[in-house]
């Protein structure tokens, strides 16, 4: 492994290439544009294809098409473009098309502060598209982790036949850190399972015997239909409940039964002895880590639970970690989005929010102040 200085957006692009991504469709937007620029250079070098689309709606549509054709496919955007992609993300969930969507969050609704960081798309990443559907959302806290979680995003997408969202923020995307990237042969790469049946037997959405049926690429002799409507095992629209309900059970079940493989977090060795816990993610976890270090130096019994998977939410671990504690601190660069989920799990009376939504980082001293307080309340806005 060779040490190098690398920007977060470049680490994302290189992680995608390493994972086997060979198709990118996107539209430039701050602070995610470097991912497009790098993929435009890198994909032709590895036999892949890059296309700049006319907008974000077309971008995600092209990515779905690239995946159906058999290519691991990626797009990258920020909040406004992510909003435009929501309908087609729902389409990919309904049609069970693997793809990866990178959202480099920036501050504010609308144009907001295009060059400033935010964590304001946490709830949009889970609930932005319409209807009931499962989703996987990963969130890195460093440049090296951006590379690793980009690879993991493709692995999970292919393994579970589902769109996966890599939820970055402008701070991680634009910072540069020294990293040691693994050699390609050291990486664990998951590819979509090939079908073992002849074309005349193939069903793209068969509900038995496994949760994730193989997805045969278009153009290789396998005939099936793709639609955004509820569909039967061949993909054709249906309104029959005996076909809709088994599909719902399987699509939600494949994620629920895979939680041990999907959910990912980092906890320190002090967690079982802590009196206060800080739950953080993304760039804010860096401030939280420093605040926890300062608090421990001052004698506080505090621990950090850093989330790398936001959705599915690591409900069981959060509940277990917080059940004997009086205070759970959730710092975020928003007005309290993931805190809502923490409050649902552990109770609102335990949670202290530390929030900023003005395009600035949550500072370590803000978190330290919350750690050292003796009362529990709504925290800081």
pLDDT in tens, 30-77: 999 999 999 999 999 999 999 999 999 999 999 999 999 999 999 999
| DSSP letters for 121-149 | THHHHHHSSSSS---EEE--SSHHHHHHH
Does any domain span residue 49? Answer: yes
pLDDT at 1: 61
pLDDT at 300: 93
| Of 124, 159, 186, the domain-final residue | 186
| Of 186, 215, 234, the domain-final residue | 186
Of 167-181, 202-216, 277-291, 338-352, give the lowest mean pLDDT range: 202-216
CA-closest candidate to residue 104, choices 262, 330, 279, 282 = 282
Hey, what are 201's tokens? Answer: 């037997």
Indicate the average pLDDT of the chain.
95
Q: What percent of the chain has pLDDT over 90?
A: 90
Q: Average pLDDT, stretch 87-92?
A: 98
Region label for 139, one of left (φ > 0), alpha (ψ between -120 and 50) or beta (otherwise): beta
Query: What is the residue whose two structure tokens read 């850190």?
Result: 177
Q: Average pLDDT, stretch 90-112?
A: 97
Same domain, 10 and 135: yes
> Both ends of the chain: CA-CA distance in Å?
43
SS3 75: strand
Does any domain span residue 27? Answer: yes
Same domain, 160 and 26: yes
Phi, psi for 214 (deg, rounded to 5)? -60, 145
Same domain, 9 and 133: yes
Domain count, the chain: 2
Give per-residue pLDDT as tens, 269-289: 888 889 999 999 999 999 999
Q: What percent of the chain has pLDDT over 70?
A: 97
Same domain, 171 and 288: no
Domain holding 360: CATH number?
A: 3.40.50.920
Note the helical H segments in 134-232: 143-160, 170-174
Residues 97 and 213: their CA atoms lie apart, in Å, by 11
Does any domain span residue 53? Answer: yes
| Of 134, 161, 186, the domain-final residue | 186
Hey, what are 60's tokens? Answer: 């995600």
pTM for this predicted structure: 0.96
Does any domain span residue 256? Answer: no
Q: Above 80 in pLDDT, residue 150?
A: yes
Q: Above 80 in pLDDT, residue 102?
A: yes
Does any domain span residue 191? Answer: no
Q: Above 90 in pLDDT, residue 92?
A: yes
Give per-residue pLDDT as tens, 203-248: 999 998 789 999 999 989 999 999 999 999 999 999 999 999 999 9
Residues 99 and 269: their CA atoms lie apart, in Å, by 35
CA-closest candidate to residue 102, choices 154, 41, 46, 176 = 154
CA-closest candidate to residue 163, choices 134, 195, 140, 121 = 134
Same domain, 127 and 270: no
Same domain, 22 and 166: yes
Burial of 62: CB neighbours in 10 Å, binned 0-12, 13-18, 19+: buried
Burial of 305: CB neighbours in 10 Å, binned 0-12, 13-18, 19+: buried
Same domain, 26 and 160: yes
Does any domain span residue 97? Answer: yes
pLDDT band at 376 (very low <50, low <70, confident <90, very high): very low
Q: Average pLDDT, stretch 72-94?
A: 98
Does any domain span residue 96? Answer: yes
pLDDT at 377: 46
Q: What domain range includes position 61?
A: 3-186
Same domain, 45 and 160: yes
Q: Above 80 in pLDDT, residue 3?
A: no
Same domain, 40 and 162: yes
Does any domain span residue 147? Answer: yes
pLDDT at 375: 43
pLDDT at 324: 86
């Amino acid at each position: 492994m060779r040490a190098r200085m690398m920007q977060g957006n470049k680490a994302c692009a290189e992680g995608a290439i390493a994972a086997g991504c060979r198709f990118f469709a996107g539209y430039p937007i701050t602070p995610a544009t470097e991912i497009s620029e790098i993929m435009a250079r890198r994909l032709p070098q590895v036999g892949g294809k890059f296309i700049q689309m006319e907008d974000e709606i077309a971008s995600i549509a092209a990515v779905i098409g690239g995946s159906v054709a058999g290519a691991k496919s990626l797009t990258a955007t920020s909040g406004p473009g992510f909003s435009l992609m929501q309908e087609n993300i729902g389409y990919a969930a309904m049609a069970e098309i693997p793809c990866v969507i990178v959202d480099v969050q920036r501050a504010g609704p609308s144009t907001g502060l295009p060059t400033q960081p935010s964590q304001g798309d946490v709830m949009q990443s889970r609930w932005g598209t319409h209807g009931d559907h499962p989703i996987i959302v990963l969130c890195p806290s460093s440049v090296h982790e951006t590379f690793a979680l980009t690879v993991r995003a493709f692995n999970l997408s292919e393994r579970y036949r589902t769109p996966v969202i890599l939820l970055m923020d402008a701070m991680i995307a634009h910072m540069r850190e020294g990293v040691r990237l693994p050699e390609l042969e050291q990486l664990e790469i998951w590819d979509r399972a090939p079908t073992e049946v002849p074309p005349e037997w193939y069903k793209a959405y068969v509900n038995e015997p496994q949760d994730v049926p193989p997805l045969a690429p278009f153009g290789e002799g396998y005939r099936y239909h793709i639609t955004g409507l509820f569909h039967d095992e061949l993909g054709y629209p249906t309104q029959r409940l005996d076909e809709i309900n088994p599909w719902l059970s399987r699509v939600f079940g494949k994620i629920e039964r895979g939680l041990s493989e999907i959910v990912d977090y980092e906890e320190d060795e002090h967690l079982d002895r802590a009196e206060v816990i800080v739950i953080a993610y993304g760039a804010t976890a860096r401030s939280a880590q420093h605040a926890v270090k300062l608090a421990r130096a001052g004698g506080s019994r505090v621990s950090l639970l850093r989330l790398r998977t936001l959705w599915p939410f690591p409900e069981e671990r959060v509940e277990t970690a917080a059940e004997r504690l009086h205070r759970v601190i959730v710092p975020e660069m928003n007005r309290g989005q993931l805190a809502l989920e923490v409050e649902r799990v552990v109770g609102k009376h335990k949670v202290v929010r530390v929030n900023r939504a003005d395009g600035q980082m949550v500072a370590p001293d803000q978190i330290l102040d919350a750690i050292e307080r003796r009362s529990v309340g709504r925290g800081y806005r």
